[in-house]
Amino acid sequence: MENFEDSIREVAEKLLRDKKVDLIIGYEQGTLPLRTTPCFVEKLEDVKKLVWNASCDANLSKYVVGKKEKVGVVAKGCDARLIAVCAVENQIPRENVVVIGVPCQGVIDRKKIEAKLEGKEVLEAVVKDEQIKVEGEGFEVVLPKKDFLCDSCHTCRHRNPPIYDVLIGEKLPQSTDKNEFAEVSSLESKSTEERWEHFKEELSTCIRCYACRNVCPLCYCKMCFVDQSMPTWFGKTNDLSDTMIYHIVRAFHVAGRCVDCGACTRACPMAINLRELVKKTEKIMKERYNYEAGLGLEEVPPLGEFKMEDSQEFIK
Amino acid sequence: MKNAEEKWEPKILAFLCNWCSYAGADLAGISRIQYPPNIRVVRVPCSGRVNPYYIIKALQRGWDGVLVSGCHPGDCHYISGNLVARRRFAVLKDLLEYFGIEPERVNFSWVSAAEGEKFANVVTDVVKEVKALGPAKRLVKR
């Protein structure tokens, strides 16, 4: 990891010096332990701010959408996939972006650590050799990193960026044979009634803060359907029906585009498991159209094309 | 109360494409084919014109079921509107079912202008299924 950080700085410095890019988007150390924040580097002397560690969880492709200048962006597997999706959708001019691909070993889910510590405040944390050492007032624990990764990272099959201009380090083996749809499948095996009750309970805590939408690189619409008032499609209340519809339509909107980066789940202040809502769309796309988003620049989004022989068993 | 429940009849919102299904419904009518009077028809230029919002909004407004009907694949007046719609509806239907909306409430069919009989059958089936489910409750906004 250490040398990843050095390589990132080296590459960033070179790109800036050669005027290949005007801006580097990466991560810098946050003010709290286990946190990083997006970092925008325009000057050579700021390059040293860039860091790389297991807390680099923000999806930086969000900041590339809509940028006019040439940017270099530090991208994990999922970030790079989203850059590809946005490039396919003409939201990112690919030639303007230098993707600094970083093979990723998964990012830490702070919510899991918070849950483990039962509300005790972490004052210092060190991640080393697959272990997280957290310290606070009157306690010190060492946690195995693999148990505290994000759910998306557990089943990630694209740890290496599928598109990149510069690769930091070496590609990782695609190791996981875990079923990424296990959660979805277990829900599917339940009855409609049970599923409804499950989602009702899960979403009843939603406060409609739209953090999940705002953090998502795919939500780049200038006017979101929930903000629209002429016509007002759906209510803005946190009435169950409105909340449910917001989440259904959000899932529908990312169908065939979502790469399960987990940003929405991490952003949710109410700890709603948003992953199980959107993961289904990925499953539908895979089963029906054998499509996985963000693996290349030549792909056509499944809802942007059709085939005569598409499945239609549901049509009377 | 019991009486009211017995008297309950489902209301189904039907989006029919102008070129096939609407004409199919018309044919069912002029052929005097009997089918349940539970549908309210919205004529749309093409099944591809049906925004998924319409379907979800209908469910929120308390319609007991929705039917979207268009031309058979290959017969679309606009060449491919129904094929685009087919993918969209497939995803929407799977998703609504996953979220726990009874799948019988959201229906799609291909009915050509010559299939008055099929139209009557589709409506009969849909009404029967929705009746068995009872009034819509889940997505309805109160």
- Count A/B contacts: CB-CB distance under 8 Å: 112
Kindly determine whether residue B100 and residue A284, on different chains, have CB atoms separated by under 8 Å.
no
pLDDT tens digit sequence for A142-190: 999 888 999 999 888 889 999 999 999 888 887 667 888 999 999 999 9
- Which pLDDT score, from 0 to 100, does residue A73 have? 96
Same domain, A241 and A122: no
pLDDT of residue B142: 81
B67 exposure class (CB count in 10 Å sphere: 0-12, 13-18, 19+): buried
* Structural domain boundaries in chain B: 9-132
Minimum Cα–Cα distance from A255: chain B residue: B91
Tokens of A143: 């946690």
Tell me if A234 and B56 make a contact (CB, 8 A cut-off).
yes
Contact at CB, B90 and A288, closer than 8 angstroms: yes
The closest CB to that of A315, out of B57, B108, B141, belongs to: B108
- Residue A1 pLDDT > 60: no
Q: Which of B53, B89, B98 sits opposite A195 (nearest CB)?
A: B98
On whether both A50 and A174 belong to a single domain, the answer is yes
Closest-CA distance, A303 to chain B, in angstroms, reads 6
CATH code at B9-132: 3.40.50.960
- Is residue A132 in some structural domain? yes
The three-state (H, E, C) secondary structure of chain A, written as one string: CHHHHHHHHHHHHHHHHCCCCCEEEEEEECCCCCCEEEEEECCHHHHHHEECCCCCCCCCHHHHCCCCCCEEEEECHHHHHHHHHHHHCCCCCHHHEEEEECCCCCCECHHHHHHHHCCCCCCEEEEECCEEEEEECCEEEEEEHHHHECHHHHCCCCCCCCCCCEECCCCCCCCCCCCCCHHHHHHHCCCHHHHHHHHHHHHCCCCCCCHHHHHCCCCCCCCCCCCCCCCCCCCCCCCHHHHHHHHHHHHHHCCCCCCCCCHHHHHCCCCCCCHHHHHHHHHHHHHHHCCCCCCCCCCCCHHHCCCCCCCCCCEC
Nearest-CB residue to A280 (from B87, B93, B98): B98
- The pLDDT of residue B3 is 66
Cα dist from A195 to B58, B66, B119, whole Å: 21, 21, 32
Q: Are residue A115 and residue A247 in the same domain, yes or no?
A: no
Mean pLDDT computed over A92-106: 93
pLDDT at A129: 79
Q: What token pair was written down for A58?
A: 């923000």
Beta carbons of A137 and A195 less than 8 angstroms apart: no
- A273 occurs within a structural domain: yes
Instruction: Give me the interface pTM, i.e. the ipTM.
Output: 0.93
Q: Give the chain B residue nearest A194 (alpha carbons).
A: B100
Give the residue ranges of chain B where pLDDT is below 50. Answer: none
Q: Does residue A264 sit in the same domain as residue A241?
A: yes
Pair A71, A173 in one domain: yes
Q: Is A312 contained in some domain?
A: no
Query: Are B83 and A310 inside 8 Å of each other by CB?
Result: yes
Q: Is the pLDDT of residue A220 over 70?
A: yes
At residue A138, does pLDDT exceed 90? no
Same-domain status, A70 and A204: yes
Nearest to A241 among B87, B126, B141 (CB): B141
Which of A148, A177, A211 lies at the terminal end of a domain, its last residue? A148
Within the 11-70 window of chain A, which residues sit less than 8 Å (CB to CB) from chain B? none
Q: Do B90 and A312 touch (CB under 8 A)?
A: yes
Residues A185 and A244 in one domain: yes
| CB burial of residue B116 (10 Å; 0-12, 13-18, 19+) | buried
Residue B138 with chain A: CB contacts under 8 Å:
196
pLDDT at A17: 94
Q: Which residues pair with B12 in a beta bridge?
A: B39, B65
Domain-terminating residue out of A98, A120, A148: A148
Note whether A122 and A232 are same-domain residues: no
- Residue A236 near chain B (CB below 8 Å): no
User: CB distance from B99 to chain A under 8 Å?
Assistant: yes
Distance from CA of B56 to the nearest CA of A (A): 7
The residue-averaged pLDDT of A239-261 equals 95
- Put simply, the answer to whether B107 touches A198 (Cβ < 8 Å) is no
- The answer to whether residues A76 and A173 belong to one domain is yes
CB-based contact B98 A187, cutoff 8 Å? yes
Decide if pLDDT at A277 tops 70.
yes
Q: Model pTM?
A: 0.93
Query: Chain B partners of A242 at a C-beta cutoff of 8 Å?
Result: 141
Q: How many domains is chain A partitioned into structurally?
A: 2
pLDDT for A297-313, tens place per residue?
Answer: 998 999 999 999 999 99
Residue A316 belongs to a domain: no
Residue A315 counted as domain residue? no
Domain of A130? Answer: 110-148
In terms of domains, do A247 and A155 share one?
A: yes
Q: Given B60, B95, B107, which is nearest A280 (Cβ)?
A: B95
Do A161 and A274 lie in one domain? The reply is: yes
pLDDT at B5: 63
Tell me, yes or no, whether A311 lies in a domain. no
Among the three residues A132, A148, A164, which one is the final residue of a domain in this structure?
A148
- In the structure, what pLDDT confidence band is assigned to residue A13 with cuts at 50, 70 and 90? very high
Q: Are residues A259 and A285 in the same domain?
A: yes
Residues of B with CB below 8 A from A202's CB? none
